[in-house]
């Protein structure tokens, strides 16, 4: 599969901001209670189903990947940015990290016990999200679990010039309606088990939606 063109901007931008991103982004232990609880629930479901390892796609510097390991699952991280993977390997040498894209995971079909996409799908143009969600469905084992978390809105397309410490970036980001994301997951073949929407507040600038879903087993 030819790599989608938007990934070059994402790769270059996150290579540029990697060190400041790692310093600025909270670790899971610093998150609000609901955000921590959704990760804990996901890990518990993965452990109970015992279908295989967990791919943390768009893992960045590996903080959430390491948290999943602490929660008792067998995770590995994938990110399009080589600099992010370099930082993750340095911080967590006992875990596995590799450079790759969520549009074409180097994983055999029906082999993953879980997939986590934690604030990592928002750079994907909406018309290509079906490609990403279909790849999640292809690689997830029947009965395996998916957790997608990200910011949502009525539909917003952003082109920031700077990010994470004032570095120049060229990526774009999209905040889609919650209902649209749910529909895309259903169309990809997932069954949504739970949907959590967190409204903006003192510690949150934007609305957050979390989707816990699974790949149905064959009838």
- How does pLDDT run across 172-208, given as a tens digit for each residue? 999 999 999 999 999 999 999 999 999 887 676 789 9
Task: Check residue 219 and give its pLDDT.
Answer: 62
Least Cα distance to 111 among 72, 132, 142 occurs for: 142
Least Cα distance to 46 among 73, 11, 67, 9 occurs for: 73
Q: Compute the Cα dihedral for 204, 122, 58, 169 and give only its sign.
A: negative
Per-domain residue ranges of the chain: 6-148+181-214
177 close to 114: Cβ distance less than 8 angstroms: no
As a CATH number, domain 6-148+181-214 is 3.40.50.150
Task: Check residue 188 and give its pLDDT.
Answer: 98
Task: Check residue 155 and give its pLDDT.
Answer: 86
Task: Check residue 201 and give its pLDDT.
Answer: 74
Residue 116, Cβ neighbours under 10 Å: how many? Answer: 27
Task: Check residue 218 and give its pLDDT.
Answer: 75
Least Cα distance to 120 among 135, 106, 142, 110 occurs for: 135
Task: Check residue 3 and give its pLDDT.
Answer: 86
Residues of the chain with pLDDT under 70: 1, 202, 204, 219
Q: What gap in Å lies between CA 68 and CA 72, rounded to an integer?
A: 7
For the whole model, what pTM was predicted?
0.96
């Amino acid at each position: 599969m030819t790599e989608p063109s938007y990934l070059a901007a994402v790769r270059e931008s996150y290579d540029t901001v990697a060190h400041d991103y790692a310093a600025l982004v909270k670790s899971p232990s610093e998150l609000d209670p609901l955000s921590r609880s959704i990760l804990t629930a996901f890990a518990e479901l993965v452990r109970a189903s015992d279908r295989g390892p967990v791919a943390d796609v768009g893992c960045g510097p590996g903080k959430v990947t390491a948290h999943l390991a602490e929660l008792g699952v067998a995770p590995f991280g994938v990110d399009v940015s080589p600099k992010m993977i370099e930082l993750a390997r340095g911080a967590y040498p006992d875990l596995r990290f590799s450079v790759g894209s969520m549009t074409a995971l180097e994983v055999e079909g029906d082999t993953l016990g879980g997939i986590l996409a934690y604030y990592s799908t928002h750079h994907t143009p909406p018309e290509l999200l079906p490609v990403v969600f279909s790849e999640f469905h292809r690689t997830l084992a029947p009965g395996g679990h998916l957790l997608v978390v990200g910011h949502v809105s009525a539909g917003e397309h952003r082109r920031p010039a700077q990010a994470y410490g004032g570095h120049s970036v060229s990526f774009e980001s999209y905040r889609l309606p919650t209902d649209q994301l749910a529909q895309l997951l259903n169309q990809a073949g997932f069954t949504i088990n739970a949907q959590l929407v967190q409204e903006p507040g003192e510690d949150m600038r934007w609305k957050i939606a979390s989707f816990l879903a699974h790949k149905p087993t064959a009838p």
